[in-house]
Structure 1
Amino acid sequence: MDILYDCDPGQDDAMALLTALGNPNKVKVLCVSTVGGNQNINLVTQNAGYLLAFCKQHIPLVQGQAGPLLNQLHVQAKAHGSTGMDGSDSLNKYAYPVEDDNAICFMANILKKQSQKVTIVATGPLTNIALLIKTFPEIIPKIAKIVIMGGGIDHGNVTDLAEFNIWTDPEAAQIVFSSPLEVIMAGLDVTEKTTITKKEIASLQFGGPASKMAGNLLHFYQKSGEQFGFTAAPVHDLVAMEYAIWPEFFEAVPANIKVNTNHGDAYGQTYIAKGKDENKAAHNVLIKKMTKKLFFALLQKSLQFLDQKLVN
């Protein structure tokens, strides 16, 4: 499976990217694009570069939109730290080249060249993806599906109703959900229940360089999560990537997912349309749960592959 990975690397995006890189027999990452979200665009691009350099990759990295289509960006230093990906001091010694091209044009050119359809995995605000769809509608047939982390049907985490990625750019999210593409949503309803324990995180210190680095990032993330009431770490973005690679391990249902773009208490809320509109968009899919207890095991196996690669 070929993927484009669009992200705003904090710790949970890092686990998603490491999982993709750790399964080259299943996944080919065509490029990594960044978007302003967890932190400002320069920091999240730097974080993505650190990870790619650490893992000795040669995947194109391209910097995308600095902020939402209409609103001001509000970063999440409280959750992810001042760098957007605190927890592993050794990463900042790495450097990685960033493409000069505009990210939207760069992704479109990649898609145009592909003979097979490509999956987009997006784990930050959907600004880049919305612009890609609107600017280059001719590439829509080249996209197999879009798997996102964002939203929540039962609740939010920035407001009572809205999750951060969608709340940051609701207008972009609505463009993506209302497109003719299959859009699969890993929202808070599943990601907050799909967690990694402190014991599992500690076990990574017995592995190789990738495992230890991931363990350090997750240790910070788990401790940070305690301020929000979590004991185990809900590694949100990893759910989307694992679904993209192993959908057979999840339960998901068709749903007509909408985004509230009316300013007010419900701004940025994702909800399932009811009544006459309920079944109009069966191409949208809501991930309900992971049906097998493999969340950490799949990450651990991916890291072990990278460990072997890095020490050889």
Structure 2
Amino acid sequence: MQKLQKRFTTALSVFMTLVLSFALVGCNVFPFLQNNPAQQATQSSITTGELEAIHDPKFGGSYLDITIEEFNNLGFEYGDSVDVTFSNGYKLSDIPYYNGYYTKTNDPLVVAYPGYPYVYVCVNNGEPLWETAGLKAGDMATVTLHEKQKYATVQKALDATYTNNRSDYASDEAFANFRPMKGGNLAEGVAYRSASPIDNQNNRAPYAADLAQKCGVQFILDLADTNEEIQGYYQNADYDITWHQSLYDVGNVAALGLNANYRGGQYAHRLAAGLREIILHKGPYLIHCTEGKDRTGFVCALLEALCGASY
């Protein structure tokens, strides 16, 4: 019995020695087997601290009072997962940080869109976050890293490079995103789509205006701007706005000032009014928003469908 007990004790001692040795080796050779407190501490320390939340009345989201460069210098990277906590208690957890609107409709994100002055928090093409979150002037927001590169696959797959230099494009049409609408029984030369011919924040307005004028456009459906915004563009124009203003002065520009929520009641009401306005005017017609992509794409798809276009 004593011999058996001694053998057992010896065997147990050897076994425990092996276990301890493996654990020590594993810490060095297989670091993924352990929790890395230093790494966790580094990730949790990536935060903006409290920033002012700034209302964006056009689209209903919230700018944060920090530039994109400053935000990224804190350690945030496109494709990261982040948490956003507002001072009123509203919180968005585990949402992506992208440099474009790569989430599905109605999904929240933090976005550093090229040309934006600040980092932006919103719901993609959905209800206005400012109202949903119950935010008000003076509220603050804190962004904290949730998980490093959790959404990197989406970011890499959809990552777009933006340039506002004419020399980077093959033609004026490509630069101005200008092209005729086609679909169903829509006649050739009746309707066109483009980037804005009046809002020159992306350097495309002179090109869009020139191409539209050459195509004989007589009526403009401006999805992006209000009448007040158009007047502001006139006052600060750095190119010849004579053609656009000549149409505007005789009532041939309909300014809808649409947001991005194409499922919302305001969007539907204003768009219906704009389409009724088109009926009252002779073409050719130009439909545009700011870049000529999202709002323009939705409205053109709708019109083409009404004209019998196939899926």
Q: Normalized against structure 2, the TM-score is what?
A: 0.28
Q: Which has the larger radius of gyration?
A: 2
- Report the structure, 1 or 2, having the larger helix content: 1
Structure number with higher relative contact order (C-alpha < 8 Å, ≥ 6 residues apart): 1
